[in-house]
Amino acid sequence: MKFFVDTADVDAIRELNDLGMVDGVTTNPSIILKSGRDILEVTKEICSIVAGPVSAEVVAMEADAMIAEGRKLAEIAPNITVKVPLTWDGLKACKVLSGEGKMVNVTLCFSANQALIAAKAGATFISPFIGRLDDINLDGMDLIADIRQIYDNYGYDTQILAASVRTVNHVTQAALVGADVMTAPPSVIKSLASHPLTDKGLEQFAKDWAKTGQKIL
């Protein structure tokens, strides 16, 4: 499963990228706001750090304006993925932009039917939101599984990008059910290395080593 990092924090992106933990980046208007930077400037810097897809989201609501914004964003770098919402206008924009050879990430997906029509519109990625479904007492992972089966049934090339990932368990479950990609904040990705038994074992090793009175260097 590919790891995308959901942030515009270039220092965090660099750290994870240097460890081979970043296959791409996702951003949205809320993330850009949090960065406090100009969208074109920060997105260009991110694209210079990461070789994989970098999602930059349109903010228009009408198809023609989305297409114009998408074309502008795609000029930033060759690895830009234009992010559009899963609305009828968003699907129109997806069809045009993907037809022009641009990568398109269709976001805010909450049903298998939405994922199906996004694939038919030529989406490169579909972004089902796991955490937000969990918030309303639905199992977001069931949606990932349904989309996986539908895409496999009919051979769609659209990649399932598990989004709104909030916990390490979400990462495990998304990998088990067959998501192609997951995107998560840096804190979640770094938490994947943590386990209390690892900490406990390391503490015991340190105590035992101290008792030997030895040094390696």
What tens digit of pLDDT does each residue of 128-164 get?
A: 999 999 999 999 999 999 999 999 999 999 999 999 9
Task: Say if residues 22 and 5 touch (Cβ distance below 8 Å).
Answer: yes
Q: What was the pLDDT predicted at 107?
A: 98
Element (H, E) at 104: strand 103-109
Which of the residues in the chain have pLDDT under 50? none
Burial of 153 (0-12, 13-18, 19+ CB in 10 A): exposed
Q: What was the pLDDT predicted at 2?
A: 98
* Pair of tokens at residue 67: 């297409």
Q: What was the pLDDT predicted at 157?
A: 97
Whole-structure pTM value: 0.94
Residues contacting 188, CB < 8 A, separation 6+: 165, 166, 167, 168, 170, 171
Active-site choice (2, 34, 44, 83): 83
Q: What was the pLDDT predicted at 185?
A: 97
Please name each of the domains of the chain with its CATH number. 2-212 (3.20.20.70)
Q: What was the pLDDT predicted at 155?
A: 98
Q: What was the pLDDT predicted at 193?
A: 96
DSSP 25-92: EE--HHHHHHHTS-HHHHHHHHHHH-SS-EEEE---SSHHHHHHHHHHHHTS-TTEEEEEESSHHHHH
Task: Say if residues 149 and 178 touch (Cβ distance below 8 Å).
Answer: no
Q: What was the pLDDT predicted at 74?
A: 98
Alpha-carbon distance 89 to 84, whole Å? 9
190 is catalytic: no
**Residue 136 CB neighbour total at 10 angstroms:** 8
Q: What was the pLDDT predicted at 151?
A: 98
How confident is the model over 84-95, as pLDDT tens digits?
999 999 999 999
